[in-house]
Amino acid sequence: MNRKYSTVIVEDEGAARKRLLRLLTPFSEIIEVIGEADNGISGTELIDNLKPDLIFLDIQMPGKDGFELLKATQHKPYIIFTTAYDNFAIKAFEQNSIAYLLKPIEEEKLKMAIDKLVSFSKPSNIDEKVIELLNDKLETKKAINSISAKVGDRIYLIKLDDTLFFEAKDKYVFLSNAQEKEFILSQTLNQLEDDLPDNFLRINRSVIINTDHIQEIRKYFKGRLLFKMGSSSEFVSGDAYKDSIKTKLNL
């Protein structure tokens, strides 16, 4: 008889959590879901309180991302990563035999991940590899100092020091520089958030700001904050990002 793994799902998108729960139904003899969290901060607490055997862990989330969560938790379960985008980390995880699922998750890929999980014998082997990958990720973030934007047949390299904010609107992501000129980017906000250095902060689902260029912060309704960037741009923080903003800015 297969061992049953107590499982926590840490995923900020409700629809993605429901889909994963549905896909896990045929594996009820192996996977027992005992808790769910919709951000990295509550996920950290849930994992340390429930001490599950396994977590399905999203990479990009408000509060703490998946890597930060792993660094913060005292309890170290097995990990199956989930994410909506493909990047350099996928090959790294595959090379280290850690399950990494792209959303929307496919039934066949999920089965392969669970089969791989059952074959593991020592969780500590995963832990060491996660720490190594985390260090590589942090070093990569520190090395980035510019970002490319295409305008017509020209490509501009824009220094991150001169960037005010990134904003998702009208199905595109825009960069606004210190001169408040906009550039359309090919990356998503999730991809940018993963690669940007530590002085960049996501304050809601649509905006990442450069904290070095904050002109003013004012209190807003229901505990939210209003950020003034440059001479005319203002953004209101999202509820899900309240804790990460306070921690980052020491508010």
Amino acid 153 reads: D
C-alpha closest to that of 76 among 105, 101, 47:
47
| Calpha distance 99→139 (Å, rounded) | 23
Amino acid 150 reads: K
pLDDT of residue 235: 95
pLDDT of residue 87: 55
pLDDT of residue 128: 53
Residue carrying the six token digits 């998750």? 105
Tell me the pLDDT of the chain averaged across its residues. Answer: 83
- Tell me the per-residue pLDDT of 137-152, one tens digit each, with 9 for 90 and over: 555 555 578 888 878 7
- Tell me the per-residue pLDDT of 151-200, one tens digit each, with 9 for 90 and over: 877 888 899 999 999 999 988 899 999 888 999 998 888 888 877 888 89
Structural domains in the chain, sorted by start: 5-142 (3.40.50.2300), 146-249 (2.40.50.1020)
Q: What are the φ and ψ backbone dihedral angles of 199, each rounded to 5 degrees?
A: -80, 0
Handedness of CA 160, 164, 168, 170 (dihedral sign): negative
Residue 123: is the preceding peptide bond cis (ω within 30°)? no
Report strand pairing: 172-177 vs 163-169. antiparallel
Would you say residue 240 has pLDDT above 90? Answer: no
- Tell me the per-residue pLDDT of 32-47, one tens digit each, with 9 for 90 and over: 999 999 988 899 999 9
The per-residue DSSP string of 74-94 comes to SS--EEEEEESS--THHHHHH
> pTM to 2 decimals?
0.52
pLDDT of residue 2: 65
Contact 47, 70 (CB under 8 A): no
pLDDT of residue 98: 58
Would you say residue 30 has pLDDT above 80? Answer: yes
pLDDT of residue 130: 54
Task: Tell me the pLDDT band of 94, cut-offs 50, 70 and 90.
Answer: very low
| Calpha distance 157→176 (Å, rounded) | 13
pLDDT of residue 89: 52
